[in-house]
């Protein structure tokens, strides 16, 4: 059990590093990738929490649902940036 707690702590530290990239990223694409990394870390964290509480079946179902939401959000953000572009990308081409 302490192994899973240590793994959860490492995942939280990695998420904090990615959150710093979301807050202070240079471009919108850096921020988008960091938010996807946070989502992926949270999915793994849900699975680890399932093992900590000896209920992996329930937490894996939640992780799969969150993975679907994370994927839909990434596709929606990508489509928006494809159609409208970002201000930073338009400034670079000018």
For 7-48, how does the pLDDT look when each residue is reduced to its tens digit (9 = 90+)? Answer: 999 999 999 999 999 999 898 888 899 999 999 999 999 999
Q: Cα angle vertex 57, ends 74, 55, to 5°?
A: 115
- d(CA 57, CA 79) in angstroms, rounded, equals 33
Cβ contacts of 30 within 8 Å, gap of 6 or more: 21
- d(CA 94, CA 89) in angstroms, rounded, equals 9
Report pTM: 0.80
pLDDT higher for 46 or 1? Answer: 46
* Residue pLDDT, tens place only, 40-69: 999 999 999 999 999 999 999 999 999 999
List the domain boundaries for the chain.
2-93
Closest CA to 47 of 72, 35, 64, 70: 64
């Amino acid at each position: 059990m302490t192994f899973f707690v240590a793994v959860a702590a490492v995942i939280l530290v990695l998420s904090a590093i990615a959150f710093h990239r979301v807050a202070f990223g240079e471009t919108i694409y850096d921020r988008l990738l960091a938010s996807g990394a946070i989502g992926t870390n949270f999915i793994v964290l849900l699975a680890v929490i399932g093992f900590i509480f000896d209920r992996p079946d329930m937490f894996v179902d939640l992780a799969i649902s969150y993975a679907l939401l994370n994927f839909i959000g990434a596709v929606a953000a990508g489509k928006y940036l494809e159609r409208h572009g970002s201000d930073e990308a338009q400034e670079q081409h000018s």
